[in-house]
Amino acid sequence: MTNSWVSDQLATATTAQAVQTTNFWDSSVWGFINIIAILLMSMLAANMIKRSVGFLKYSLIPTSVLGGLILLLVSSVYEGFTGVPVFDTEFFGSKGMETLEIITFHALALGFIASTFKSSGGKLSKKRTTEILNTGVTTVSTYVLQAIIGLGITLVAALFITNLFPASGILLPFGFGQGTGQAMNYGNIYENDFGFAGGKAFGLTIAALGFLSASLGGVVHLNILKRKGKIKLTYADDSTEKATDVEGDNEIPMQGSMDKLTVQLAFVVFAYLLTYLLMYVLGLLLPGMKATVYGFNFLLGVLSATVIKTVVNKLRIKKLINRQYINDFLMTRVSNFFFDIMVVAGIAAIRLSYIKEYWAILLILGVVGLFSTYGYNRLIAKKLFKDYEQEQFVMMYGMLTGTASTGIILLREIDGQFRTPAADNMVYQNFPAIALGFPLMLIAPIAPNIPIITLIILIAYFVLLNLMLFRSFIFKKKNK
């Protein structure tokens, strides 16, 4: 009987081993690698096309956006003929569209984490502190303006368009103001928790329209200024980086016992591991808000990176660490890589078949979002940033319709050496923007339940933010 039992155990173990055996020729092994390869190849192809085609060369459209649009076109044509997106074929592991969404989700947080690790600079003057605060308030007030306009449009449109999700317009600030990752995050919340069919695709499409608004609107604005003789365009491809940016004083060597780039990636993924643990605990404590908690992966990632950076700096002050491990130049490269991947994957993940009935409302949201963002930021730049009005405007407009990278692309066209404080404003404004923007992130998940009340709250908050923004004009002291 003992021999029989032993034989049964050996047979069971052998069967389990056979089940767990990985065949390295399976599509599940190669699918993810094939997707990453195609994403990167699409950006290489987009870069070649952009440099070869005249109107694209001067369009300022980011290469990652163009690469994503190429993949979207190919995938949509393939789906039109076969009924299946090209990324859901066996070559890409059969679940490629889902993988693209996962890549977009993670790349958003990883990009923000890498950006957070960069040094924050020295002390700021009172004037610079005020300008940075105003930039942060502008960022959030523009988000809120986009939310008011978007929500207002879809609430009215839902009365005439069958099956339109009334609160879908609140995705406008997440697509325009915060980019692909957040647009997909909140679209996913609406899709899973509130039954908005195609919510992710809706949000991703708004983000794509935002990039086009940033690129095309930015080009038109810059060329108008150029014709009027107000600015002189520089070349965004001109590099201003030096060797000392890669290897500064008292930093670890580029190729020591551990490669310097590997060290940067280790810090980033360590911060993301802490982020996951934090989200896991919050998910257990707040089970009803699990989707919202994980949607804040980028924000909690910034928190984790800030804690790690603070600890490392304290250890250096106490001489427990003698070398500088974090390099701003390499962290910028890491963050830009993740943001590029996020954008191209996010646009490629759009399912046009899911949103074909919403094209009219999407175009309305895109056009109104473009002009409202343009006009509002032109007014603020003219009133509050007179010393570098144009630089501040193009940076803010690019960032609030695309991403920070788009804002920098536009800024480098007229301030290639970053002589004005506009680029610094973009970096430092994240701190007040996160604090002031947090209420919008909290209210967005409950907007579908109370859309009218949400709209009223947003209007009240917009008024409050503008009182803060234009305080020097509204509350100025009377001249004696």
User: What would the pLDDT profile of 164-194 be if each residue is shown by its tens digit?
Assistant: 899 999 999 998 988 777 888 889 889 888 8
The partner residues of 259 in beta bridges, in order of sequence, read: 255
Sequence-distant (≥ 6) Cβ neighbours of residue 315 within 8 angstroms: 321
The CA distances from residue 242 to 97, 236, 327, 332, in Å, are 40, 16, 13, 14
Domain boundaries of the chain, sorted by first residue: 110-474
pLDDT the model gives residue 4: 62
Q: What pLDDT was estimated at residue 6?
A: 57
Tokens of 99: 């993988």
Cα 407 off chain centre by: 12
Burial 249-270 (b: 16+ CB within 10 A, else e): eebbeeeeeeebbebbbebbee
Q: Which residues of 154-175 are buried (b: 16+ CB within 10 A; e: fewer)?
A: bbebbeeeeebbbbbbbbbbbb
CA dist., res. 428 & res. 233, Å (int): 26
Burial (0-12, 13-18, 19+ Cβ within 10 Å), 44: exposed
Q: What integer pLDDT is reported at residue 9 of this predicted model?
A: 61
How confident is the model at residue 7, as a pLDDT? 62
> Any idea of the CA torsion for 326, 331, 334, 339, to the nearest 10 degrees?
140
Handedness of CA 381, 384, 389, 393 (dihedral sign): negative
What integer pLDDT is reported at residue 277 of this predicted model? 96
Is residue 79 within 8 Å of 73, Cβ to Cβ? Answer: no
Q: What whole-number distance in Å separates Cα of residue 115 and Cα of residue 95?
A: 30
**140-to-253, 369, 433 alpha-carbon distances in Å:** 40, 15, 6
Which pLDDT belongs to residue 452? 93
- Stretches in the chain below the pLDDT threshold 50: 18, 235-236, 238-239, 243-244, 478-480
